[in-house]
Structure 1
């Protein structure tokens, strides 16, 4: 997989991540800043590091499975490994401007 293909795949992954929502928040997980790392490997596997806005998120299992399923639905992705991390701790500064406006912070 060339670097250009990896970049294109990463862009498509971001597009599908923008369709994943925490059921309690009307902003997608990408714009909330919950995705810390996307690594597309030569063998077409993907490693993602993500977090939640709160460690005790009641929808955690649902969201993790939604992320994995949607990323793996991409033709160029063989499999996705979604890692849940809590370092650094999520805070509101990680949100995009779009998310801040949607949630009334700006």
Structure 2
């Protein structure tokens, strides 16, 4: 078994932007994962566009799936648009999958 952060990252790989067939982690939408001493988790993330019509759904899914991890006591998802997301933030795997390489 990995660390709690590894488990969170694994779960984030199961959350997809419905408009793009790649998970939010590989898309580079997750900027930071912080875990405090009480296993409270803060995830700072963005969306591909500020007017994303499924923003609430994605944030809810992140919150729900991370809360389902046994060790996690509390989850706070912080949405930010600073810095704005660009295609350069995607992993090589995501770029390859979407045909950007």
User: Where on the TM-score scale, by shorter chain, does this alignment land: which range?
Assistant: over 0.9
From 81, 91, 97, give the equivalent of 2:92. Answer: 97
Residue of structure 2 aligned with 1:30, choices 25, 30, 36: 25
Runs of 4+ displaced beyond 2 Å: none
The structure with the largest helix share of the pair is: 1
* Residue 12 (str. 1) matches residue 10 (str. 2): no
Q: Partners in 1 of 2:54 and 2:17 — Cα distance?
A: 7
Structure 2 residue aligned with 1:86, among 76, 81, 88?
A: 81
Distance 1:22 1:58 in 2: 10
In 1: Cα distance, 2:31 partner to 2:19 partner: 21
Q: CA deviation at 1:44?
A: 1.0
CA RMSD of aligned residues (A): 0.8
Give the aligned partner of residue 47 of structure 2: 52
The alignment's TM-score, normalised by the length of structure 2, stands at 0.97
Separation in 2 of the partners of 1:24 and 1:100?
15
How far, CA to CA, are the matches of 1:56 and 1:16 in structure 2? 25
Unaligned runs of 5+ in 1: 1-6
